[in-house]
Amino acid sequence: MGPIFLETISLGAAWFIFVVDRVIPWHNALEPDPCNLVTFRQEIVHQKHFQQSAVLFLSLVCLIATHRGAVAEKKLDTAEILAVAKASFKTDEDTLWQSRLKGRFEITGKDGLADKQMFTTFESWVVGDTLRNNSLCDFERSTFPYARFEDVRTLLLENGSLYVTSFSDRFKPIGCETRIRRHEFDTEMLHETHFTVWYHPQMLLKLPFNPTREGVDSMTFTKDNNGILHGTWHPNKNARCEIQLNSRIGNRPISNKIYYKDKLVHEINATWKQWPNAGTMLESVTNTYAAQSATYTWTLTEFESLKAVNPNKFQQADLGALPGAREIDERDRNNVLINGRPIR
């Protein structure tokens, strides 16, 4: 609500008080002469017209005030808002390039009429770009209907190798198996790794809103009294994104609702925290898909920005595979190895 809007409303209110308190009582005090029927009727009509004019004038004042206020709000500079958002995004990316984070990944929702629930704890040492990420994740089975194993632990090495160690009575006779693939080429292990290692922290930054994405400069913004910027963007003729940025923390995103033909299909919410010795950084990201009736939530419990990162903090031994368990190495699809030996 801009100063022009407030000023116009104040003037309108002052006029309303003056008319009600002074003009109308004075005008009503001018009693028409009932002995002169023509004059009496003319005066009655004149009074009604006067009162109607006063109401009409006040309505026009309010309409103009609303219009002027809306125009004032629409004058927010989109380029300036996005420049601040991009600067914050770049700062956060740089911070994540050398960092350690620990937290919890959760899937909740409905599978038909059944509730589904899954939790994974993770710890990541991030070294640069999206593939240089040394992470250890421990899946905790709950009521997730597609969980085929009692326990799954995943390891992503700095060189891009993805290890998945699964524990189940299905693996005879040891009760354990490890599979190895290349992270950047993997598609089939998505369910088994339960999505965690696929979301490098830098990808989580882009999930609520990516201010560097092409086309977002066409957005329009308004700002409320709490410092929240409300942006609207149309990626195509059927889609609409309603995005909220918090101007008090460098225009970082806190909400993104995506509509398809005016139906809400996807909602992402983010919270931010002032971490000790690390500045402002994500605390949680919640990603809800209406079609899947599922919500994916990442919550950080620890975060620190480091001057130096150990890219080999976690190794295969940290997976806790049982001695004698089978190991299937599929990093080279043309030369699959089982316990170090080619299968053909």
Dump pLDDT digits (tens) for 241-289. 999 999 999 999 999 999 999 999 999 999 999 999 889 999 999 999 8
pTM for this model (two decimals):
0.69
β-bridge pairing 98-111 and 114-127: antiparallel
DSSP 28: H
β-bridge pairing 176-182 and 326-329: parallel
Residue 156 has which token pair?
């992503």
Q: Which amino acid is at 183?
A: H
Residue 122 has which token pair?
């993770």
Rounded Cα–Cα distance for residues 327 and 343 (Å):
12
DSSP 145: T
Helix ranges (DSSP H) in 121-200: 190-193
The pLDDT assigned to 73 comes to 46
Q: Between the ranges 30-39, 40-49, 103-112, 327-336, where is the mean pLDDT highest? A: 327-336
β-bridge pairing 294-305 and 114-127: unpaired
Q: Where are the domains of the chain?
A: 3-74, 77-128+137-144+206-307, 146-193+314-344
Q: How many residues does the chain have?
A: 344
Cβ pair 58, 222 in contact under 8 A: no
Rounded Cα–Cα distance for residues 74 and 231 (Å):
11
What's the farthest any 2 CA atoms get from each other in the chain? Answer: 120
Tell me what the pLDDT averaged over the chain comes to.
76
Dump pLDDT digits (tens) for 195-234. 444 456 677 888 899 999 988 999 999 999 999 999 999 9
pLDDT over threshold 90, residue 3? no
The neighbouring-strand residues paired with 322 are none
Q: Between the ranges 26-35, 159-168, 178-187, where is the mean pLDDT highest? A: 159-168
Candidates 125, 130, 141, 143; CA nearest to 192 is: 141
Helix ranges (DSSP H) in the chain: 3-18, 24-29, 37-74, 78-96, 190-193, 201-206
